[in-house]
Structure 1
Amino acid sequence: MKRILFLFCFITTLISYSQQEYTIDGQTYILKTEVKGPINLLWNSIDNEYRYFIKKGASITELKNTKKNGVYQEEYKTTLKAQAPEATLPIDKVKLTLPSLSKYVINYNKQVDPTYTSSSETIQLKTRLGAFAGVSNNVYYTNPDNTILPALGVEFEIIDDVKLKRHALVVRFKQLLESDDYDFSYSEFSLNYRFKFIKSTKIDVFVNAKVAAYSYASRDVTFINSSGNEERITGSGGDLQAPGAFGLGADFALGNGYLTFSYNDIVAIGLESSDEFPVDFTLGYKFNL
């Protein structure tokens, strides 16, 4: 458990955002600096809406894409051209999204300053924090009546929007609660890798691989063993494992975050399972940090 907690703390200390207060057209905003250079790209989520700004010298201009008669006006392209008149970069395919704007601004900065380098090209770490609830029959422990228990938990996700868009690292805590019929409780910290084989602005669908986990179980279970005799298992304890467990999930864009659904631990290569079909579903919401 100490190893996983240390890893969690280490990862979170690596992640930081440059934020500063700006006054633009009489309004004060706290904005993150995504790209620095001859022109800067600033952004933040304000009132559940992503807002983007270009800073050149002391001037800051918002990039907008208003809708008129059902058609987007794409004013941000005109703004980019005005702020970067020296650029000979194609702008037709630039989208009002952080990755697309970042790429354009970085390329512009390189064009006007041959010595310019940007760490944004290498990695752009972003984080999401969420909570979830669900149910599980925990087929990897003794569960004689295949009792389904309630589950609660939180997860912390790390993503990179540039080089590794389809990949994510997730630290997850999950708690199973005992019931009147099944005296069993279970806590788990796990480190997970996710590959998003479907990725769009509205939905991500992924495979989840549980790489390492520390679990702590407390139980008092009576059952009939294979010999037909009554057997009782009691006690509590923890274990550090490499379960090699796989599941499926999906994130649906909603507000300043995602509604997330997952079917967990469908199969675990490193754990012995009962003959029951795994039931392990969770539903939650995670915020962009």
Structure 2
Amino acid sequence: MKYLHSLCAILLLLTVGITHAQQQYTVEGKTYTLQTEIEGTLTLLWNTIDDEYRYFVKKGSAITELKNTKVDGDYKEEYKETLTLLTSDAPVSTDKLKLTLSGLRNYVVEYNRKADSNFVYEKPSVQLKTRLGVFAGMTNNAYFYNPNNDFLPALGIDFEIIDEVRLKRHAVVFQFKQVLENSDYKFSSSQVSFNYRFKFIKSEKFDAFVTAKAATFTSVSRDQELIDGEEVTKFTSGSQFQVPGAFGFGFDYALGNGYLSLVYHDIVAVTIDNNGNTPVDISLGYKLNL
């Protein structure tokens, strides 16, 4: 219980610290919660709104959205004209500018340096971002006793930490997972694990990654039937720390202020044996950007 209280306190502090950079702005009569990416003569604001990335710039007290409307299959690239007008006092070319966070960041920094000799931008060496997610799925519990290869429901929570500057393709995940028994298979478990993910495909809308489960602490409870001349029922329970080296893969798709996540967990483990069944442990969840 003390562990859970401490974990909740840490999550709360992280949430407060990260959301501090977000503010509400009114643009064309609508109110948006936006993150400040670059602050200067021209300020860059953004967030994911209605399942898409939206970008805004603020000059003086006026806030303008950067748009790229698609008409008859062609993009109009209105954002280029908008930025050309706003930066006419210190022009910066928009010819090769893409409507992405990295592209806009570089553009706004270049303009601010031209427009204000006192402007200083130091790219952070570390920019930690976090995501908090919930998931549900099914598992055949292939690394525990399961003589009939039954499937059990599983629920859990993920807390993911990402560095968006130097280690964009890497993430660490602290996970709590609860496996629930059913009427045929009296087994349940609670597991806390430390995981690493490498994103071999990474974009603003879609990530694909391999995941490695580095360490686990698992508590199990089961009614195990033993047949040796006659049938008896034996209740067993216990806890164990392991370093399984278990690998899987997954996908994240940007949706709203977060990601829809599909993961195939623990396909193979290096240091522990399965029970003879092919591991099947699949979950679907949603992760919220904090």
| TM-score greater than 0.5 by the shorter chain | yes
State the Cα deviation string for residues 49-74 of structure 1 (Å, max 9, x = none): 43211112323222111122321111
CA distance 1:117–1:252, shift in 2 (3 Å): closer
How far apart are 1:265 and its partner, in Å? 0.7
Give the letter for the 1:13 counterpart: L
Cα distance in 2 for partners of 1:270, 1:232 equals 30
Structure 1: stretches of 5+ with no match in the other structure: none
Secondary structure at 1:163's aligned position in 2? coil
TM-score, L = length of structure 2: 0.84
Residue matched to 1:153: 156
How far apart are 1:262 and its partner, in Å? 1.3
Cα distance in 2 for partners of 1:229, 1:107 equals 80
Of the structure 1 ranges 99-108 and 142-151, higher mean CA displacement relative to structure 2 is found in 99-108
The answer as to 2:121 corresponding to 1:117 is: yes
The answer as to 2:93 corresponding to 1:94 is: no
8 A contact 2:51–2:255 mirrored in 1? no
Give the letter for the 2:84 counterpart: K
Cα distance in 2 for partners of 1:252, 1:21 equals 25
Q: How does 1:212-227 map to 2 (within 5 A)?
A: 212-223=215-226
How far apart are 1:31 and its partner, in Å? 2.1
State the Cα deviation string for residues 214-263 of structure 1 (Å, max 9, x = none): 222111212459xx997865332333333221111112334443332111
Cα distance in 2 for partners of 1:48, 1:253 equals 7
Q: How does 1:2-81 map to 2 (within 5 A)?
A: 10=10, 13-14=13-14, 15-17=17-19, 18-81=21-84
Cα distance in 2 for partners of 1:212, 1:106 equals 42
8 A contact 1:4–1:214 mirrored in 2? no
Secondary structure at 1:157's aligned position in 2? strand
Residue matched to 1:285: 286
Residue matched to 1:164: 167
CA distance 1:5–1:66, shift in 2 (3 Å): same
The answer as to 2:138 corresponding to 1:135 is: yes
Structure 1: 4+ residue segments shifted above 6 A: 1-5, 228-232
Of the structure 1 ranges 251-260 and 195-204, higher mean CA displacement relative to structure 2 is found in 251-260
Cα distance in 1 for partners of 2:231, 2:112 equals 74
8 A contact 2:112–2:119 mirrored in 1? no
Aligned-residue sequence identity (percent) comes to 54
206, 210, 223: which is aligned to 1:207?
Answer: 210
8 A contact 1:35–1:118 mirrored in 2? no
Q: What is the aligned length?
A: 286
193, 207, 224: which is aligned to 1:190?
Answer: 193
Cα distance in 1 for partners of 2:221, 2:202 equals 39
CA distance 1:168–1:93, shift in 2 (3 Å): farther
Structure 2: stretches of 5+ with no match in the other structure: none
Q: How does 1:206-285 map to 2 (within 5 A)?
A: 206-223=209-226, 234-285=235-286
8 A contact 1:193–1:208 mirrored in 2? yes
Secondary structure at 1:76's aligned position in 2? helix
Give the letter for the 1:95 counterpart: K
Give the letter for the 2:105 counterpart: S
Cα distance in 2 for partners of 1:270, 1:11 equals 31
How far apart are 1:4 and its partner, in Å? 8.8
8 A contact 2:138–2:152 mirrored in 1? yes
8 A contact 1:65–1:73 mirrored in 2? yes
State the Cα deviation string for residues 110-166 of structure 1 (Å, max 9, x = none): 4544661335x4344333333222111212222222222111222232333333221
Cα distance in 2 for partners of 1:32, 1:144 equals 52
Give the letter for the 1:117 counterpart: Y
How far apart are 1:196 and its partner, in Å? 1.0
